[in-house]
Amino acid sequence: MKNPSKNISKSDVLYALLLFVIVVIMAIWVGQQAADGNITILLVFIAATITALTTGFGAFPFIFFKNINKNWLVYGNALAAGLMLGASIGLVYEGFGIADVSMPGTRTIIGLLLGVILVILAHKALDSRKDEFSIGKIKGANAIKMLMIVGIMTVHSFAEGIGVGVAYGDSTTFGVFISVAIAIHNIPEGLAISLILIPRGSSIKEAAGWSIFSSLPQPLMAVPAFMFVLTFKPFLPIGLGLAAGAMFWMVFKELLPEALAEIPTSRAWAMMILTGLGMILFQLLIH
């Protein structure tokens, strides 16, 4: 695999600024509507769209790095594993604590098992077509790994979208709080995706685009969840568990083993654990 090297791209900087401005404008509008107490379907959709767009912010730290060589690929796996591990633990904790739902812990565990089963089946289906599979110029195992992490994060976004809709069904204040929390939480998730995609040959804009794509279920699921909150809420712990199970599999079956093959065991585990703990602390702070 070639080692990409680049100067800071003006187009990447403009793309980042444009995305940031769009998010700020949308956030100001949501804030004004929420202050007036106008909880509408459009408000819920725009708020959830903001959470999706902020996922793209995770790619933008790469704008400032000139050389992206093999070390990025090696250490990126360990760092992404830590971010996903921390996010998974947070999802399980959140699933167990959902109020007004019978047996949330059991539902979360069922989701965990379903997530592992589904991701194993998906990986086997993709692996059987490894030689013919490609994403743009990237082919084979790297393309499959890229698709798997985007797919897993997309599954995760379904649960987050339901969470936004259910929160707005509770109250405007709670809806705004959850939207802000998820929007901030999505940035390191976008970073996790970018840590896998960019060292394997994706551009910054492509990584940001795939990160946003992975979060598109959030506005799509937020609206029906808001409209039918009592119907969707019982499925929330299952969705959270499903996403966590898929991410646990990706961490311990793909990302961590690949990091262990290239760097000392103690270093790989230390990077993953420290990053995971940082992600958990980050989630506790924003919630």
**Could you tell me if residue 110 is inside a domain?**
yes
Domain count, the chain: 1
CA distances from 193 to 57, 210, 211 (A): 11, 8, 6
**Could you tell me if residue 80 is inside a domain?**
yes
Q: Per-residue pLDDT for the chain (287 aa), expressed as one digit of tens each?
A: 444 445 567 888 899 999 999 999 999 999 888 888 778 899 999 999 999 999 999 999 888 876 666 667 778 888 888 988 998 898 899 889 888 888 999 999 999 999 899 888 877 776 666 555 555 555 656 667 777 778 888 887 888 888 888 888 877 888 888 888 889 888 988 888 888 888 877 888 888 999 999 899 999 999 998 988 878 888 889 988 888 898 899 899 888 998 898 889 999 999 999 999 998 998 888 76
Is residue 222 helix, strand or coil? helix
Q: What is the dihedral of CA 67, 70, 74, 80, to 10 degrees?
A: 40
**Could you tell me if residue 5 is inside a domain?**
no
47's tokens: 């708020």
**Rounded distance between C-alpha atoms, residue 194 and residue 213, angstroms:** 13
**Could you tell me if residue 233 is inside a domain?**
yes
* Buried-exposed string 195-231: b where 16+ CB fall within 10 A, e elsewhere: bbbbbbbbbbbbbbbbbbbbbbbbbbbbbbbbeebee
Q: What pLDDT score was predicted for residue 212? A: 94
- Give residue 255's domain range: 10-286
**Could you tell me if residue 209 is inside a domain?**
yes
Residues 50 and 26: beta-carbon distance below 8 Å? yes
**Could you tell me if residue 250 is inside a domain?**
yes
**Could you tell me if residue 63 is inside a domain?**
yes
277's tokens: 């703990």
